[in-house]
């Protein structure tokens, strides 16, 4: 074949820098977006925050003529406009005047209010700096603090520190005593009996049950620290020591035969066991709390659901008119080229933020429009919804809807939910309709909460009850939904009433 020229027509999407920036901002969470905005403010002098009450030229910063429309004010004019003096202030502008001298019996705090409300007062003896400023304490540091207060030899202290390093976050000893003994230098001549004695010392630390090697030992350690006058203490220690497997399998009939306890007595024993903590290390909180900032706020006004963006989470930006006025059209110097590029990047960034907010508002409005039943009545009224439904309603691609709903949260009167929470698959009903999987989970949770604890509902029984309501769900589907809700099987939900 000889080469030839052929003319073809086609469409091609070019990922311009502006489009790449808009897509990247679209999929950022609120906290990540605030960090991105802060970095943009620090790197681009043309950008600045638009605070409430700012008095500035409201002309569109995206217009081409904005470069030369705002001349730079002189130093004298800028100083006179921004620096007030006592002489040019009108009466009542100052809330208070600074006195030359304070009365003898007047404290400084009576005149001026400090912003640091957490600072101690003169008579606050219980104020502790570490409780107000320090981060969460870890279990390891909590045990080492108690170790420093315990009197013991240097060798025992070394053994104790090694044992504490082997305790996990739940409070259990992960290594065996033989492995701990072998980890020491042979020159120290550490014996297994010494390690066991030091372990018993650590097991007396707080929280109760720390340093246990299994669940039985953990519960027994907590029972031994209870007062001797605790009712049913001896019987509870016997059940935990000898019959913990029967208690775990909920074989109450066999348990009553072996312990010679009546039903009321066994109920008291089980109640005491349930007050113990199987994970004592979890009492020491080491992680910092995580906060969720909602992107969208939904509220009801005059029987209508209103959707609005969270203005506190969406900082407003603008182009600095003073710096924009420094840009000259015909100047090709390095400084002017730099300022022109910064101005263009600032405009692109503001436009990308506006596009992100508009898209988020469209998607959130359609979700609220589709899920009014949930907002009025709860999870049981949730309707089936997929990404394609919202994408078709707003005229966007499903991938864009997926980016918008990821790590974006909506504040409703029923709580704060991620936007993806409102999307769920559907199950057919006997009447030809559809029921969402979220609604089915809510019904299963309601049925389990109202069941007889002596005879809990099995998955097959729950499927039958759902079918009686017109919802056709298989037993394995019920089991999958039950596991996703964190509900144990019927054999483990059985209670002795």
Asked if residues 25 and 17 have their Cβ atoms less than 8 Å apart, the reply is no
State the pLDDT confidence band at 289, using cuts at 50, 70 and 90. low
Whether 72 shows a pLDDT value over 50: the answer reads no
Residue 385 above 60 pLDDT?
A: yes
**pLDDT, tens only, 174-190:** 888 888 888 888 888 88
* pLDDT score, position 51: 72
If you write DSSP's letter for every residue of 366-402 in order, what string do you get? HHHHHTHHHHHH-GGGPPPB-HHHHHHHHT--HHHHH
Contacts for 89 with CB less than 8 Å, ≥ 6 apart: none
For the residues 446-459, what does the mean pLDDT come to? 85
Spatial separation of the C-alpha atoms in residues 144 and 151, rounded to whole Å: 13
Task: Determine the 3-state secondary structure of 471 from DSSP.
Answer: strand
List own/partner pairs for 325-333 with CB under 8 A and 24 or more apart: 325/67, 325/68, 325/69, 325/70, 325/71, 325/72, 326/72, 327/67, 327/68, 328/67, 328/68, 329/67, 329/68
Find all residues with CB under 8 Å of 489, minimum gap 6, and list them: 459, 482
Cα–Cα distance for residue pair 218/279, rounded to 1 Å: 8
pLDDT number for residue 333: 85
Answer with the residue of higher pLDDT: 488 or 413: 413
Check residue 363 and give its pLDDT.
92
| Pair 424, 374: CB distance under 8 Å | no
Question: Which of 58-72, 365-379, 386-400, 477-491 has the weakest average pLDDT?
Answer: 58-72
Instruction: Identify whether the C-beta of residue 442 lies closer than 8 Å to the C-beta of residue 383.
Output: no
pLDDT at position 112 is 46
pLDDT over 50 (residue 11): yes
How far apart CA 119 and CA 421 sit, in angstroms, is 42
Helices (H), 280-382: 321-324, 334-370, 372-377
Distance between CA atoms of residues 221 and 281, nearest Å: 14
pLDDT in tens, 194-205: 889 999 999 999
What does the alpha-carbon distance between residue 375 and residue 410 come to, in Å, rounded to a whole number? 12
Q: What is the pLDDT of residues 86-110, one digit of tens each?
A: 344 444 444 444 455 545 545 545 5
pLDDT at 362: 92
Give the pLDDT of residue 22.
80
Quote the CA–CA distance of 276 and 272 in Å, as a whole number: 7
Predicted TM-score of the model (pTM)? 0.62
String of b and e for 422-450 (b: at least 16 CB within 10 Å)? bbbebbeeeeeeebbbbbbbbbbbeebee
Helix then strand count (H, E) for the chain reads 23, 8
Compare 112 and 413 and report the one with higher pLDDT: 413
SS3 468: helix
CATH for 426-493 (3.40.50.720, 1.10.10.60, 3.90.850.10, 1.10.3720.10): 1.10.10.60
Find residue 308's DSSP bridge partners: 297
Rg of the chain's alpha carbons, rounded to an integer? 34
Statement: residue 478 has pLDDT above 60: yes
pLDDT reading at 252 higher than 80: yes
CA torsion, ordered 51, 53, 54, 60, to nearest 10 deg: 90
DSSP at 429: B
């Amino acid at each position: 074949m000889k080469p030839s020229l052929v003319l073809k027509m086609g469409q091609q999407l070019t990922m311009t820098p502006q489009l790449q920036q808009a897509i990247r901002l679209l999929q950022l969470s609120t906290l990540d977006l605030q960090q991105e905005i802060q970095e943009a403010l620090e790197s681009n002098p043309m950008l600045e925050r638009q605070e409430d009450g700012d008095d500035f030229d409201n002309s569109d910063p995206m217009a081409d003529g904005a470069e030369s429309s705002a001349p730079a004010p002189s130093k004298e004019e800028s100083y006179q406009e921004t620096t007030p003096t006592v002489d040019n202030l009108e009466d009542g502008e100052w809330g208070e005047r600074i006195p030359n001298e304070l009365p003898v019996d007047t404290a400084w705090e009576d005149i001026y209010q400090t912003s640091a409300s957490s600072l101690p007062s003169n008579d606050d003896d219980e104020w502790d700096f570490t409780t107000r400023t320090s981060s969460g304490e870890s279990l390891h540091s909590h045990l080492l603090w108690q170790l420093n207060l315990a009197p013991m030899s240097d060798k025992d202290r070394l053994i104790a520190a090694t044992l504490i390093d082997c305790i996990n976050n739940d409070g259990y000893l992960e290594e065996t005593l033989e492995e701990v003994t072998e980890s020491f230098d042979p020159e120290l001549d550490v014996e297994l009996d010494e390690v066991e004695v030091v372990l018993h010392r650590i097991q007396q630390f707080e929280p109760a049950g720390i340093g246990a090697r299994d669940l039985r030992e953990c519960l027994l350690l907590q029972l031994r620290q209870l007062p001797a006058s605790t009712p049913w203490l001896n019987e509870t220690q016997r059940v935990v020591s000898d019959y913990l497997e029967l208690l775990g399998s909920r074989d109450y009939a066999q348990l009553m035969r072996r312990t010679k306890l009546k039903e009321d007595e066994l109920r008291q024993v089980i109640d005491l066991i349930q007050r113990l903590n199987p994970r004592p290390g979890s009492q020491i909180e080491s992680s910092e709390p995580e906060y969720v900032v909602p992107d969208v706020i939904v509220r009801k006004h005059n029987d209508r659901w209103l959707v609005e963006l969270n203005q506190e989470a969406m900082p407003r930006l603008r182009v600095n008119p003073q710096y924009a006025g420094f840009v000259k059209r015909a100047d090709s110097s390095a400084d002017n080229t730099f300022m022109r590029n910064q101005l263009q990047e600032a405009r692109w960034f503001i436009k990308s933020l506006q596009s992100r907010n508009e898209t988020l508002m469209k998607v959130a409005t359609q979700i609220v429009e589709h899920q009014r039943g949930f907002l009025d009545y709860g999870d049981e009224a949730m309707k089936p919804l997929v990404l394609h439904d919202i994408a078709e309603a707003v005229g966007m691609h499903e991938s864009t809807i997926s980016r918008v709903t990821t790590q974006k949260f909506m504040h409703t009167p029923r709580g704060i939910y991620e936007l993806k929470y409102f999307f769920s698959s559907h199950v057919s009903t006997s009447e030809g309709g559809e029921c969402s999987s979220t609604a089915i989970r809510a019904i299963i949770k309601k049925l389990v909460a109202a069941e007889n604890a002596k005879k809990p509902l099995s998955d097959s029984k729950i499927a039958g009850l759902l079918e009686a309501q017109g919802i056709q769900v298989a037993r394995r589907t019920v089991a999958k939904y039950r596991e996703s809700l964190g509900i144990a099987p019927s054999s483990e939900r059985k209670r002795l009433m």
